[in-house]
Amino acid sequence: MNSLATEVLRLLTVRGETLAVAESLTGGLVAAEITAAPGASKGFRGSVTVYATELKHELLGVDATLLAERGAVDPQVAAQMAAGVRKALGADWGIATTGVAGPEPQDGQPVGTVYVAVDGPATKNSDAVDGRKVASLRLNGGRAEIRMESVRSVLALLLKELAGEQTGNERAQDTEQNGGT
């Protein structure tokens, strides 16, 4: 998986841009993956792990009403987390993970329900809305597999945005994914 992080960092460095990470179910695994790659300090600003629901509002500015009505496992929550960490840490790009790794369902969502989001500069070449893109995942496996696939998925989503903007290629939106590692 480190090759994903390495490629993300390479593209960020080429572009002179930076990244910030907001994590819930992954608990710091995305940041660990990024910082394991050589040269991470050139593009990585930092991360915020917001495992508790109220911290998503307090630290990242996720709408409190949204959290109260839908819970933390929601595509809009993921998008607001990515935007919030981008703003809070002064980065060009923000990415976020939220979901249910198990063993029990959460907020009425089954185990394996995950949302990953990217928030970045809006461009005419991106299929993201206002620079934001969210992928809905339905993952199989145990807790560890779900968390690691969430890491891979958010890095892959960011890589698509970075590579797509660089080349101007149109991309298909992945809205659901089944799988493990």
Strand pairing category for 113-119 and 19-23: unpaired
Does pTM top 0.95 for this prediction? no
**What pLDDT, on a 0 to 100 scale, did the predictor assign at position 2?**
75
**Mean of pLDDT over the chain:** 89
Count Cα neighbours of 145 within 13 Å in the Cβ-side half-sphere. Answer: 12
Find the range with the poorest average confidence among 62-66, 107-111, 144-148. Answer: 107-111
Cα torsion through 105, 86, 31, 75, rounded to 10: 20
68 phi/psi in degrees, rounded to 5 = -70, -40
Closest residue by Cα to residue 83 from 46, 13, 131, 35: 131
- Judge whether residue 33 has pLDDT over 50: yes
65: CB partners within 8 A, 6+ apart: none
Give the chain's domains with CATH numbers. Answer: 2-167 (3.90.950.20)
User: What's the pLDDT tens digit per position in 69-109?
Assistant: 999 999 999 999 999 999 999 999 999 999 999 999 998 99
